[in-house]
Structure 1
Amino acid sequence: MKQQAPPGPPSAVERRTIDVIPDAERHGSPRSQFTLWFGANMQITAIVDGALAVVFGADALWAIVALLIGNVLGGIVMALHSAQGPRLGLPQMISSRAQFGVLGAVVPLVLVVLMYLGFAATGSVLAGQALARILHVPATAGILLFGVLTVVVAVTGYRLIHTVGRIATVMGVLGLGYLLIALFTKYDVGSVVGVKGFEAPTFLLAVGLGAGWQLTFGPYVADYSRYLPRETSERSTFWATFAGSVIGSQWAMTLGALIAAVSGDAFVGDQVGFVGELAGPAAVALLVYLVIVVGKLTVNTLNAYGGFMCVLTTVTAFNGRSRVSPAARAWYIVGFTAVSIVVAVVASADFLANFKNFVLLLLMVFTPWSAINLTDYYLVSKERVDIPALYDPAGRYRRWNVTALVSYAFGVVIQIPFLAQALYTGPITDLLGGADISWIVGLVATAALYYPWARRTANPPAAMVYPSEATPPMRRLSS
């Protein structure tokens, strides 16, 4: 198949928002998904996520195994969302209108926006600290500067985001590879690995941290595969996304678990500072801080870009529009980033504990959404979507879909007895010795309720329906 040429250089400002990508503007290959998600995961927050398992009691060896299991399980769900992109040509959360209804999709959308804000804020804290060390300025100034960089890349859009992802991939391999070697050179890592026996609660906490990390990409992963040509293999998109995300995150989380095991309170008190000291000489530390900034810029841009898409999807559910001007698009991104920076500046000093609870809370609200979206797309609708109807509250998908909304609420509520949060521990969690399996319960129970109910109530089209302007005339498309 002859691929379309990319629409301009990486510096060209993206024009598309929540509308379907026409075939004439499709380009690239699944390989771009590998580099984007590998680069987005080879960064400081993933290191912190891996460290949490050890900080909260797991042995480093068991933590690494558990994180791998969690990354693989969550990565499967995340990559199944990514595989929808080429066929639909839509942002992820617009497509969820097919399950929840045009207005009903606003319910999970609001939670997704809060997620983006939370991750953007925590990322800004860590990247701001690194920039402050590079430029010898206060941390607040570093956070503000990082916010400006995020806005520039996110406003420019899709192609520059992928370019930054490729740069982050190379820098991440070099930087985190060097840190791993430095860790084994400076510390007796073997003496702190395998010193504790298997403990189910901490093991399952680490599985949840790995799975939660991957699952939180689900609401926006298709935003970055939607420009691929429509004929792109779903299998290729799946494996490229899965491999990039799982390998990148597991590498970073393994480093984090080992750092936490050898460092004790030193890493807990100053994550960025400890990594800089691990790097060694000032010149090398400076380069490692730069690796931190570029890695965080990749994923923070995804948060800002996805956040503005979700805000726009929410707004257009009520005004019926499918496009906005480039100026309005820029202001959405600036506004979202500004809010995340304010949150970052006033963030609590108890970063690690709050971040752990934040990730586990996100699992509670996003596993039911993923269960509904994937069950409907692959098993009920069988990859058939009426795309024009996604923008019409009076169309096929209506304003509200009771089946999805009730199933979603059920999926959230049923997890409560299984929670292990700082503010609440469920009664079943106590019986399990403190092990948090709420996300597994939410995923399975939601799908079990939604699937038979949706089989009776869903109204999918007989075949994919695209807007007339999305497909050039006289062009034959493969199914």
Structure 2
Amino acid sequence: MTVSTSAASPAGATAPPDRLLETRTIDRVPERERHGSPGSQFSLWMAANLQITAVVDGALAIVFGAEALTAIVGLLLGNLLGGAVMALHSAQGPRLGLPQMISSRVQFGVKGAALPLLLTLVMYLGFAATGTVLSGQAINLLLGAESPLVGIAVFGGLTALIATVGYKLIHVVGRIATVLGILGFGYLALRLFQQHDMGAVFGQKPFTMASLLLTMALSAGWQLTFAPYVADYSRYLPSGTSTARTFWTTFTGTVLGAQLAMTFGVLVAAAGGGFLKNQVGFMGELAGPAVAAAIYTVIVAGKLTVNCLNAYGGCMTLLTTLGAFRPSLRIGAAARAATILGFVLASMAIAVLASADFLNHFKNFVLLLLAVFVPWSAINLVDYYLVSREKVDIPALYDPNGRYGAWNAMALGCYLLGVIVQIPFLNQKLYRGPIADWLGGADISWIVSLVLTSLVYYPLARRTMRVPATMIYPDGETASSRR
């Protein structure tokens, strides 16, 4: 391997595994540094989903015209389908010990993986900026500050600190945010039922298949945004960890957290009250003066969890791209810290300088970018589980002249096909395709792309991919205990 990615020495020695500060970057985590149990995945992904932006996503189902019960059922179906895809990526983490986007070099080539990587970075930055605005509002209300710069600066500082310390602290924050989220949203739901006749929000509109499919797309798309970095947070688990346990703990955490938050969003939007105009303020008013500060804390904790994932994932994405084109570049802990700081400062700058209208448009653009992750996810999963069958030449992932090469034209072609085929089926605020119109507004683009990309890629990959006979580890590493 030509890229030195250890902070301690070129030979790969690192800090003891009980040290809080993370020193690994885009290299494989060796067995001696593995720790934890799959249960950590449940709390992390529960916290990442049980937060205010997921509430907004659920509320959008009502804004787009769905009946309340139809919206809840559609969101559940989308969370189940999208969550299953996302959790299949998570299950790769213990086996490979690699950041998620490094593993995509198997399919696209060492340099070819940069195309989806750069689009992923734009998505992380967009969600981080909009999350910083919401959290900054909550912090301002907590502190009684008037300038939006105060809340944004505090939230940005917390994000940079936690993401820089890394993996262990992010999981700790996730566990805390899970408890706070369950208590906070449970209380808000109770207040909502006390203040509104919730039975009256159901049955106000007739059921339509188009509205069901549209709400499914909302939640499935939400889950697929996690796919490019989900394995980053399971890669430290011992490699003997059961694939099934990793899958199910991730799946239940992400689906349960998202469904609870989105269902709350459906009920809030259906009951009325102006939630979408002032999300943070509305939740504080719903809680009441005595508990408002606690709810603002819940909002910050939930957004802090997912914002740290965005900053950490954005860092790994950028370093993976740089490492592909500069194989001799030394990527250590200092480079990771600097990259995280730069990412956070960029997201803060967007949050401060951009108008509210721009942020809304930028968020819509980011949501449109979801179309680029469906075919990437299909290719990665089909290859890992059906073609490579969990056999990867890990040193070759860092060598453009190795087994996987610099560019894989076949995989990149399948990827572009998977993006293009979605266009007629899209129903987004920025674009609505002709087939979506014909289907009454139903957006099935992600289903079409997932199926078609998989069917095209699989036979081509079976004929062309150079799959090793067994997993090939870096120097000094061997297969661990049987799973």
TM-score by length of 2: 0.94
Equivalent residue number for residue 193 of structure 2: 184
Q: CA deviation at 1:469?
A: 3.2
Alignment of 1:437-448 (within 5 A): 437-448=444-455
SS in 1 for 2:356: coil
Query: Is it true that 1:419 corresponds to 2:423 in the alignment?
Result: no
Q: In the TM superposition, what whole-angstrom CA distance separates every residue of 1:59-118 from its partner, at most 9, and x where no partner exists? A: 121111110000000000000000000000000000000000000000000011011001
Q: In the TM superposition, what whole-angstrom CA distance separates every residue of 1:312-370 from its partner, at most 9, and x where no partner exists? A: 00000011147523222111000011111112223442489647734641331100000
Q: In the TM superposition, what whole-angstrom CA distance separates every residue of 1:242-294 from its partner, at most 9, and x where no partner exists? A: 00000011001100110111125x1121011001100012x300000000001
Equivalent residue number for residue 7 of structure 1: 17
1:194 to 200, 203, 222: 203
SS in 1 for 2:203: coil
Query: Root-mean-square deviation (CA), in Å?
Result: 1.7
Amino acid at match of 1:195: Q
Equivalent residue number for residue 246 of structure 2: 237
- Could you tell me how far apart the structure 2 residues matched to 1:329 and 1:420 are? 37
Query: Is it true that 1:35 corresponds to 2:43 in the alignment?
Result: yes
Equivalent residue number for residue 88 of structure 1: 96
| Cα pair 1:6 1:26 within 8 Å, conserved | no
Amino acid at match of 2:78: G
Change (3 A) 1:323 1:88: farther
Equivalent residue number for residue 10 of structure 2: none
Alignment of 1:195-214 (within 5 A): 195-214=204-223
Larger CA deviation: 184-193 vs 236-245: 184-193
Amino acid at match of 2:455: A
Equivalent residue number for residue 381 of structure 2: 374
Equivalent residue number for residue 462 of structure 1: 469
- % of aligned pairs identical? 64
Equivalent residue number for residue 482 of structure 2: 478
Q: CA deviation at 1:195?
A: 1.5
Q: CA deviation at 1:435?
A: 1.2
| Cα pair 2:365 2:430 within 8 Å, conserved | no
Equivalent residue number for residue 276 of structure 2: 268
Query: Is it true that 1:251 corresponds to 2:260 in the alignment?
Result: yes
1:148 to 157, 178, 183: 157
- Could you tell me how far apart the structure 2 residues matched to 1:294 and 1:167 are? 8
Q: CA deviation at 1:434?
A: 1.5
- Could you tell me how far apart the structure 1 residues matched to 2:55 and 2:309 are? 18
Consecutive unaligned residues of structure 2, counting only runs of 5 or more, are 1-14
1:337 to 339, 344, 347: 344
How many residue pairs match? The answer is 468
Equivalent residue number for residue 327 of structure 1: 334
Consecutive unaligned residues of structure 1, counting only runs of 5 or more, are none
| Cα pair 1:22 1:469 within 8 Å, conserved | no
- Could you tell me how far apart the structure 2 residues matched to 1:322 and 1:177 are? 49
- Could you tell me how far apart the structure 1 residues matched to 2:180 and 2:329 are? 37
Query: Is it true that 1:299 corresponds to 2:303 in the alignment?
Result: no
| Cα pair 1:18 1:90 within 8 Å, conserved | yes
- Could you tell me how far apart the structure 1 residues matched to 2:65 and 2:270 are? 10
Change (3 A) 1:414 1:205: same
Larger CA deviation: 182-191 vs 314-323: 314-323
Q: CA deviation at 1:233?
A: 0.3
| Cα pair 1:368 1:411 within 8 Å, conserved | yes
SS in 2 for 1:468: coil
| Cα pair 1:63 1:257 within 8 Å, conserved | yes
Equivalent residue number for residue 69 of structure 1: 77
| Cα pair 2:174 2:305 within 8 Å, conserved | yes
Amino acid at match of 1:384: K
Alignment of 1:14-33 (within 5 A): 14-33=22-41
- Could you tell me how far apart the structure 1 residues matched to 2:195 and 2:443 are? 35
Q: CA deviation at 1:6?
A: 7.8
| Cα pair 2:181 2:298 within 8 Å, conserved | yes
Equivalent residue number for residue 131 of structure 1: 139
| Cα pair 1:124 1:344 within 8 Å, conserved | yes
TM-score by length of 1: 0.95
1:220 to 226, 229, 253: 229
| Cα pair 1:415 1:441 within 8 Å, conserved | yes
Equivalent residue number for residue 412 of structure 2: 405
Amino acid at match of 1:434: G
Change (3 A) 1:300 1:63: same
- Could you tell me how far apart the structure 1 residues matched to 2:191 and 2:406 are? 56
Change (3 A) 1:321 1:54: farther
Amino acid at match of 1:85: G
Larger CA deviation: 77-86 vs 198-207: 198-207
- Could you tell me how far apart the structure 1 residues matched to 2:453 and 2:312 are? 29
| Cα pair 2:43 2:175 within 8 Å, conserved | yes
Q: CA deviation at 1:476?
A: 5.5
- Could you tell me how far apart the structure 1 residues matched to 2:272 and 2:156 are? 30
| Cα pair 1:18 1:309 within 8 Å, conserved | yes
| Cα pair 1:20 1:470 within 8 Å, conserved | no
Query: Is it true that 1:392 corresponds to 2:399 in the alignment?
Result: yes
